[in-house]
Amino acid sequence: MIFKNRQEAGKLLGKNLLKHKYKPEKTVVIGLLRGGIPVAYEIAKALNAPLDVALVRKIGAPDQEELAIGAIVDGENPKVYLNKSLISRIAMPEGYIDRVKEIKLEEIRKREKIYRKGGGRIDVHGKIAIVVDDGIATGASIKVVIEALKEEKPEKIIIAVPVIPKDTLNELKKTVDDVIVLDAPEEFYAVGEFYEDFGQTTDEEVISLLQKSKSK
């Protein structure tokens, strides 16, 4: 399945999620930075639910930034997920992960000021948390977001993504209440191959969508 862009993927997921009849006041849609926000915005709009952002950053392998060996997410106690199996197969300079963690945490703090403008996160305690991205490859980013969310004790955690490899889908199903997907191919190389337009989402777009969502 090929999507025109992130907006189209979000609208299709929104239609799918409407069937579940979630109450807007009991639902929070959480988009992963940055590409997950346009998808999450369309879902939040369809469900008439509030939109929040998960400030998560991938930890890339040395000299291979796109190869995620882990991820870190914001919060009072930042959470770190590391793919130990993958890390064991990569030559890693001493202290590399600790150095990158500090860099990514600083990036998260800067982005929090930009996106939240001094405001706090939306409380998900006792609510249905719908976690959204524009697609999942290894699942490193979303795993750490889920881990952090569980500490806030939502009623349910649901993952909603346009596309995900079948093996990753089966793995994630064990960690949350439900996973809503539009396509789960067995052969999967990169999220971008499932989009006609997969241009990078800018900070300006993220800020605009978060503000539009609040003004509904």
Report the pLDDT value the prediction gives residue 79, as an integer from 0 to 100: 84
Helix/strand/coil for 135: coil
Q: What is the CA radius of gyration of the chain?
A: 16
Report the pLDDT value the prediction gives residue 216, as an integer from 0 to 100: 65
Report the pLDDT value the prediction gives residue 89, as an integer from 0 to 100: 92
Report the pLDDT value the prediction gives residue 124, as an integer from 0 to 100: 95
Torsion from C-alpha of 186, 3, 1, 157, nearest 10 degrees: 50
pTM: 0.89
Write out the chain's pLDDT in tens, 216 residues: 999 999 999 999 999 999 999 999 999 999 998 999 999 999 999 999 999 999 988 898 998 887 888 889 876 678 888 888 889 999 889 999 999 999 999 988 888 888 887 677 899 999 999 999 999 988 888 998 998 899 899 999 999 999 999 999 999 999 999 999 999 999 999 999 999 999 999 999 999 999 999 876
Contact 42/29 with Cβ under 8 angstroms?
no
- Residue 7, amino acid: Q
